[in-house]
Structure formats: C-alpha cells, structure tokens
Structure 1
Amino acid sequence: MKKAFYSKVAGSLLLSAGLLASGAAAADETITLNAGGVGVFGITHAAGEEFTDTFLFSLTPDWAGWAAGSAAVGITNLNGVLTPNVDITNIVFFSEVGGERTELETTFNDGAITFYPTAMLEAGSYGFTVTGVVASNVQAGSYAGNLSVTPVPEPATYAMLGVGIGLLAFTARRKTNNKLG
C-alpha cells in the first residue's frame, strides 16, 4: 500500500516538475540596456521545436527614441553541409501598459534578421516576440542578437546647442582683423 502511494506521489511530483519546466521555458526574458543603450538576448531550443519567445525592456525618459535589433542563428553541420539550425519567421514589437500588450507596427527583414518599430518609442515598457522553428529534428538550435536604442535629444538640448553655436559665431565675428579686409 505504501509503495503504491509513494509511486503516485513521485509520479505527481515528476508531472508537476515537467509542467513547471515547460512554463519556465515560455517565460518572458528581460533585456537590460547598458549605458550605451544596447542589450543582448538569445535562447537555445530543443530539436524540432516551434517557439515564440518574448523579450521585455523598459525605456526611461532619457532613453526614449528609436529602437532596432538584429539577430544571428546558430549553424549546424548536417551530413557535411552547414545549415542554419533555427528559422526565425517573424519578430514583432509591442508596448505594455497595465499588463496589456499592444502590437506595434514593426519592420522585419528575415534575410538579414533585422527588425525595428516604425515609430519612435516613448518612455515606458516594451518588448518583442520572436517566432520560429528549430530546423533540425535531431539537434538543438539557437539564436542570439542585440537590441539598441538611440535616444532623441530633448528640445532644450537643441536650444542649448543653438545658443552655443550663436556665441561661437559672435566671438568669431568680433575677432576679425579689419586690417586684412
């Protein structure tokens, strides 16, 4: 009786562990942007697996601007032929407000695996989903990439730049030598 009970407990623990592991595989990954506005991402998937991976990032008011990303896929040697081991079929940006995600118009170039939203991103929470399939039913596949954000200067920055250039022009004008013409 105890043996049957323990085997059922062990079976349910294994099932629970499997469910938790599969839930963890579908979890969102967070990208941290460095001081230069660049973050890295990537995942390895099992052979033959179809996937939809989600990567999240946030922009502060200082980093509101244009975002763009690129990715590279792993290469596998299948019967002496080097082939990409992952086929990325689409990448789409989204904004996230209050837990609700709204897709953003995204340009995706599957030949070079580059992607970017067609509009500038304001401060807030964003992400993108990568969908595809592992090309081999025998070997795992992987991809990695980077996301870069180029901030757009605030109007006050342009005003300071204009004042600085104006002061330089005024100073240069005052220093002209009238004797030379």
Structure 2
Amino acid sequence: MKKALFSKVAGSLLLSAGLLASGVAAADTTLTFDAAGNATFGMTHATTGSYTDTFLFSVSDALASASGTAVAGKTKIDTARLANYGITDITFFSEVGGVRTNLATTFDADGSISFFPEADLVAGNYGFTVTGNTLLSGKGGSYAGNLNLVSAVPEPTTYAMLGLGLGMLAFTARRKANNKLG
C-alpha cells in the first residue's frame, strides 16, 4: 500500500517537473503600475517553441481604459540581427471567482504591436495572455511591453456642456412658472 502511494507521488512529482522544464506550465505574473498608470511586462524563453504567458492586474477605479504596446526581440546570428519572436495574439480577460472570461480585444501587429480591450474596464481583476512562438530553430529570445491604465474621467468641456444644459432647463422651467414673463 505504502509502495503504491509512494510511486504515485513520485510519478506526479516527475510529471510536474517535466511540465515546468518544458515551459508548458508557466506561472502568472502580476503587474505593478506606477503613479502615471504604466506597467512593464516581458518574458524570456530559452528554448524554441510556442508559448503562452499570462499577466494579471487589478482596476480599482469605477471606470478605466487600458492600452498596451509590445516589441519582440531580435537574435544576433553571425552578423545579422534576425527577428526570432512571433507574437500571434494578445487577449484580455476578466477574472471573477477564479473563472476567466475573454474580453473583446483589438490586436494589431502591423509594424508595431498594439492591443487594447474594446470596452472600458470597471473595478475588478483582469489580465491578458500573450501567445506566439520562436521563429528560428534552436534559438530562444524575449519580448517586452508596456500597459497603460487610465481612469476614464470626463473632459472639462463635458461638465461645461452639462452645466449649460441644466441652466437652460432651469431658465425654461422658471419662465413657464412665472406668468409675468409669459
């Protein structure tokens, strides 16, 4: 009985170690934002193959807008610097009670990589996954990026227009109530 239990535990440990060594089971990385709402992210992969990296963050404001950029590293081979990373997609998700739900995300890789969720984010837990692969056989590489999180605050002209509209409504209501003006 003890021998069977030991062999199952040893087998599980070996399987877990193999998954970690292969890069399949990557831990999530939590982003830290500075006072301006910027957070940097990136990853280095030492081996050839596909990858999926997950970055987590929280939104504490009632409404926020997120946008990001990324750049893939180049690898020097002989005298040439060749692109070795292909980022194929970046997708935002929300996380509630440990359940992740993908959000509609715009991903643009024409020239430079930019990405953002198509709707503003409300207070809660979020993240995004970066998927892709190394392009050159036998070579690893890296990528890096920036995520900007900005509170969605109305412009001052919006408040001015609101005040003007309320003033006009008050003037109209007063005018109808006062029979001498009528």
Gap regions ≥5 residues in structure 2: 1-6, 164-182
Q: Determine the structure 2 residue equivalent to 1:95.
A: 94
Which residue does the alignment assign to 2:118? 118
What amino acid is the match of 1:86?
Answer: Y
TM-score, normalisation: structure 2 = 0.72
Identity of aligned residues (%): 49
Deviation for aligned residue 1:90: 0.4
* CA deviation map 1:108-130 (0-9, x unaligned): 01121110011111111000000
1 or 2, which has the higher strand percentage?
Answer: 2
Matched, 1:150 2:121: no
**Aligned-residue offset at 1:84:** 1.4
Task: Give the distance between the partners of 1:54 and 1:123, measured in 2 at CA.
Answer: 20
Residues 19 and 25 of structure 2 are in contact (CA less than 8 Å); yes or no, is this contact kept in structure 1? no
Q: Which consecutive residues of structure 1, in runs of 5 or more, have no partner in the other structure?
A: 1-7, 164-181
Mark the CA change 1:79 to 1:23 in structure 2 (over 3 Å): closer, same or farther: closer
Deviations 1:74-110 (A, max 9, x none): 1112243221121000000011111111111111011
Q: Secondary structure at the match of 1:60?
A: strand
Distance 1:13 1:151 in 2: 45
Q: CA deviation at 1:152?
A: 1.2
In structure 2, relative to structure 1, the CA distance for the partners of 1:35 and 1:142 (3 Å cut) is same
User: What's the offset of the Cα at 1:65?
Assistant: 1.3
Query: 2 CA distance for matches of 1:159 and 1:76?
Result: 51
| Paired AA for residue 65 in structure 1 | A
Provide the rounded CA distance (Å) in 2 between the counterparts of 1:136 and 1:96.
Answer: 34
One-letter identity of the residue aligned with 2:116:
Y
TM superposition shift of 1:153: 1.9
1:18-167 mapped onto 2 (5 Å cutoff):
18-19=18-19, 21=21, 26-61=26-61, 64-111=63-110, 112-153=112-153
Q: Work out the CA distance in 2 between the residues paired with 1:153 and 1:130.
A: 29
TM-superposed CA distance for 1:46, in Å, is 2.4
Residue matched to 2:167: none
Within 2, Cα distance between the matches of 1:40 and 1:94? 18
Give secondary structure in 2 for the equivalent of 1:61: strand
The TM-score with structure 1 as length reference comes to 0.72
Using the alignment, how far apart are the partners of 2:94 and 2:68 within structure 1? 16
Deviations 1:25-79 (A, max 9, x none): 51111001111111111001123121011100001026x3110001111111224
Q: For residues 128-175 of structure 1, give each alpha carbon's deviation from its aligned partner in whole angstroms, at most 9, with x where no partner exists.
A: 0000001222221100101001111279xx659x88xxxxxxxxxxxx
